[in-house]
């Protein structure tokens, strides 16, 4: 006769597939921890990859900003050169707009004397 109080023990999915001999049982009992650590490693690799891409994008933008800054300073110096009185007079002579090299005159308002 079988005793009535004997219940079947429920086994988890790991123990169903684990071999019943010594080391295999302990190895399969640690599988959830292995999967957890593997997941953390994947997250870490993804984060490093994303960080490297961000650093590359920042370096590309930094080069573009430096090129634009040099272009800006070049254009500013050209504009300052074109606004000199001698350059303005030269362009006016080419277009025959008067003031043939005469020196500039100060204009005063009547009320300021």
Per-residue pLDDT of the chain (113 residues; tens, 9 = 90+): 555 656 666 656 656 665 555 555 567 778 889 999 999 999 999 999 999 999 999 999 999 999 999 999 999 999 888 888 788 878 887 877 766 556 667 778 887 65
Domain residue spans of the chain: 13-93
**Of the candidates 109, 108, 90, 110, the residue with the CA atom closest to the CA atom of residue 100:** 90
- What are the backbone dihedrals phi and psi of residue 37, each rounded to the nearest 5 degrees, phi first? -65, -35
3-state secondary structure 62-74: HHHHHHHHHHHHH
pLDDT at 35: 94
Distances (CA, A) of 42 to 35, 46, 102: 10, 6, 78
Q: Quick one: pLDDT at residue 60?
A: 96
87, 81 in Cβ contact below 8 A? yes
- The pTM of the full predicted model, rounded to 2 decimals, is 0.48
């Amino acid at each position: 006769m079988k005793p009535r109080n004997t219940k079947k023990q429920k086994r988890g999915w790991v123990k169903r597939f684990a071999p019943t001999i010594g080391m295999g049982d302990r190895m399969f009992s640690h599988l959830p921890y292995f999967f957890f650590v593997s997941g953390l490693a994947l997250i870490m690799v993804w984060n490093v990859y994303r960080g490297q891409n961000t650093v590359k994008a920042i370096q590309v933008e930094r080069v573009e900003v430096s090129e634009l800054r040099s272009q800006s300073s070049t254009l500013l110096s050209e504009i300052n050169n074109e606004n000199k009185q001698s350059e303005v007079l030269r362009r006016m002579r080419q277009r025959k707009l008067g003031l043939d090299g005469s020196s500039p005159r100060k204009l005063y308002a009547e009320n300021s004397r």
